[in-house]
Structure 1
């Protein structure tokens, strides 16, 4: 019972850390002070939990817990989180903070879900199963964000054409103005991209821990990373090159079509998706 409660607390920590990384990504692109502070306090909460477990481990073993691989991973993740908090609080180097937390998230997830560190094989197996559930849930949530973004882009193109052709009517009034449609499409992608990235990190981790023969060059795996790259390029065009309007809307629509191809076509060609649990 105690082991199961500890496991749950570790899982909650991973989810909170994922939310912190998502917010750091938004702050990385927009330099939003409020978002940065919220991400900071979420990360601080993760650090407190990690520190408590670290101290408990020291008291339990009577030594500093770095002698095994799993202990080393835990301490490594704790160091990364500590450095991220210091960088956020005193130096404000957002680029370094975001990517440091990406590494930290991977290490924390690896430590949390690796079955070898748990005394009970049942608990270890359950953790692996729940890792898959978190991976799938985050992927579906990112797909939902991309889908809504796609709809906003379609509405943008329809509204743009109606205005250009000067077709005033009820349809025009029922669709939001172009600026709002463009902004909502962007915001949803801003949420979807880091969520898909974290989902892929957890998915690769699950495959590495669960499957005897994991192929990194699997069609679905490569397709998913390609989709992520296309959406990341969309954000680059939107944020750095300040591209807006019809061109970026068509880019977003094309990215979503690639996502559908990856989901249905590449998923059917995958060696392990939909066949393993």
Structure 2
């Protein structure tokens, strides 16, 4: 019975998740507040079911589920829903949940149809380290912050286009003003950069302690430091007032593409990160 629940629960989540996204899309097109509220509650149910699955998985495996890409995808999707629901309740910025969870649903779909990956006993023994767990968890949390930052930048570009073309004015009041969208994007980057930095420090510290030698030329290490460098440059230029507005939003959108490349592609090229196997 327990195993059946572990199989069926993600399938139920995907169905409810899809219904929620569809309702958010209807609200996006038709500005229907009743539909928006229903979509929000369905998404809340998705979050509850995801949290239950996460808890059951932890009971079954006896550890925090971040050791494989399969597990990391699920946790990433859970982080996105958690952050989007929290920011929506605090900031009341419409469409944030919709655009964020398009990304979240895509990740959940990849997770649902990906083959289940179970770490071998040797791998599990090697990875049983609080340093590594914290390293991976913080890395995913930083990716969650960068994802939401990208969403706010995308909303900025969308609203900028509407204002310039004087179209879709009915939606403008629901998107919040450009300054607020830019500020939220910046704040999320401010949160994500130090978390990613600490994650890299802990990861290297774990490698120094556990491994015979560290391959500094490994694609994952190089990719992660490039990602940190790019977002740090964006923060620096924003702080110096040399990068702002539409140009900042475009830079931030481009930087998020590197997040996706680093998470999905570079991890598979890495010999240092056995997490992805």
TM-score by length of 1: 0.52
**Deviation (angstroms), 1:272:** 2.6
2:160 aligned partner:
160
- Asked if the contact 1:220–1:262 (Cα under 8 Å) also holds between the matched residues in 2, the reply is yes
2:169 aligned partner:
169
- Asked if the contact 1:128–1:206 (Cα under 8 Å) also holds between the matched residues in 2, the reply is no
1:247 aligned partner:
247
1:208 aligned partner:
208
**Where in structure 2 are the equivalents of 1:1-277 lying within 5 Å?**
129-275=129-275
Q: Where has structure 1 moved over 4 Å in runs of 4 or more?
A: 125-128
**Deviation (angstroms), 1:258:** 0.8
The secondary structure found in structure 2 opposite 1:249 is: helix
Structure having the higher Rg: 1
User: What are the superposed Cα offsets for residues 61-106 of structure 1, whole Å, 9 maximum, x if unpaired?
Assistant: xxxxxxxxxxxxxxxxxxxxxxxxxxxxxxxxxxxxxxxxxxxxxx
- Asked if the contact 2:157–2:246 (Cα under 8 Å) also holds between the matched residues in 1, the reply is yes
Q: 1:184 to 1:275 in 2, by over 3 A?
A: closer
Q: 1:157 to 1:214 in 2, by over 3 A?
A: same
Please list every run of 5 or more consecutive structure 1 residues that lacks an aligned counterpart in the other structure: 1-124
**Deviation (angstroms), 1:271:** 0.3
TM-score by length of 2: 0.52
Q: For residues 275 and 238 of structure 2, what CA distance do their matches in structure 1 show?
A: 38
**Deviation (angstroms), 1:243:** 2.1
User: What are the superposed Cα offsets for residues 92-145 of structure 1, whole Å, 9 maximum, x if unpaired?
Assistant: xxxxxxxxxxxxxxxxxxxxxxxxxxxxxxxxx899611101101111111110
RMSD of aligned residue pairs (Cα, Å): 2.0
Q: Size of the alignment, in residue pairs?
A: 153
